[in-house]
Amino acid sequence: MPIRNVTLYFTEFSGRFDKYYDDGFKWDSERGYKTLTLLKSKQLYFVRHTESQYQVIRDAKEWSEVRHMEQLQDPSLTTVGVMQAAGVGHDMAQEHIRPDLIVSSPLTRCLQTAALAFPDVFLSNREDCTLQMCSLLPEKVDSYGDCERRIATVIEEKPELYLFEHTMSQSCYQKKNQDDKLDQIYSPRWELATDDKNEFPFPSESKESARKRVALFWRWLAERPEQVIAVVTHSKLVKKHYQICMLGNSVEEFHNGDCIHVVFDAYGFSN
C-alpha cells in the first residue's frame, strides 16, 4: 500500500499529552519547543503489523470467547501476514527509505513485520541500523492476544528474530520489572492498569494508561540520535476510534501493513 502523510499539530499534542508528564514537562514551553525541534528534524514512519493468527480467529468467533483464549497469547503472523510484511518492505525500498533506527513493539507480530519489511537489516546484519524494542509501544491490552512473552521464548520459536535479543530500551521513560510473578507478560502497562478482575484473569489496561505510554514515547523518540526512524506498532494506539490517537485525530483507519509518514506543524506555539 502507498505510504501516506499525516500532519501532527502540536497545539493538539499539548492538549492531549501534557497531563501525563510527572516532571512538569509542557509541549508549549521552551523545553517543549526544543523537543519539537528534535522531532521535526527526523523522518518518522509508523507501520502497523500485518495480519496475525489472532486476527483471523477473532474474526471467526465470538469476541467474548476469543479474548480469554490463553493459547492465543502473543500470536505470530499468518501466511498472508508474511506476504503483507514483504509488501511493506517493497514499498519502503521503492521510496528509498533506509531507516537508521527500527523500533518495535515487543509483540511477535510486530517483530516479524519489522524483520520482513527490512530484510537488508536482518539478513545482512546492517551495522548502520539500530534495532530497539520499546515497552511503550504494545497494543492496549484487551485480550491474551495483546500480551507479550519473553523475547528468549519468541526467539526460540522464531530464530530469525535473534537480532532483537537484548534490545529492550532501558530509557528513563520505561519502568523495570520488580515482580517475578508477572515477569512472563510484564510491561509498564501493568503498573498503570485498572484491575478489573471480573473481566480478566490479570489487569486490563485503561485508555489513560495507553495515552500515558504514547505521551512518554514521543519524548523518548525525540531524544534518540537517529534521523530516519521506522516504528512498528498497533492499530488501537493510532486509530481515532479508540481515542488514544498517537498520530492525532485524523487517522480513521490503520490497516494491516499501513505505513504513515508523520509531518509536524508547530502552528500556534508560543515559542
**1-10, 21-30, 101-110, 199-208 — most confident range:** 101-110
- Give the 3-state secondary structure of residue 102: strand
Q: Considering only CA atoms, which of 47, 45, 43, 71 is closest in space to residue 57?
A: 71
Residue 181 confidence (pLDDT)? 40
Residue 199 confidence (pLDDT)? 54
Q: How many CB atoms lie within 10 A of CB 116?
A: 21
Rg (CA), the chain: 18
Residue 71 confidence (pLDDT)? 84
Alpha helices in 103-143 (DSSP H): 108-117, 119-124
Rounded percentage of the chain residues whose pLDDT exceeds 70: 86
pLDDT in tens, 155-176: 999 999 999 999 988 787 775 4
pLDDT band at 206 (very low <50, low <70, confident <90, very high): confident
pLDDT in tens, 54-76: 999 888 887 777 877 888 889 99
pLDDT band at 208 (very low <50, low <70, confident <90, very high): confident
Rounded percentage of the chain residues whose pLDDT exceeds 90: 58
Residue 174 confidence (pLDDT)? 73
Q: Residues near 270 by Cβ (< 8 Å), separated by ≥ 6?
A: 28
Residue 232's DSSP bridge partners are 47, 104
Q: Is 240 exposed, middle or buried (CB count within 10 Å of its CB: 0-12, 13-18, 19+)?
A: middle
Residue 180 confidence (pLDDT)? 39
CA distances from 5 to 33, 75, 225 (A): 22, 29, 23
Residue 80 confidence (pLDDT)? 98
How far apart are alpha carbons 217 and 39 in whole angstroms?
12
Task: Answer whether 205's CB lies under 8 Å from 194's CB.
Answer: yes
C-alpha cell recorded at residue 15: 492538549
Q: Which residue has the higher pLDDT, 184 or 84?
A: 84
Residue 200 confidence (pLDDT)? 55
C-alpha cell recorded at residue 142: 484487551
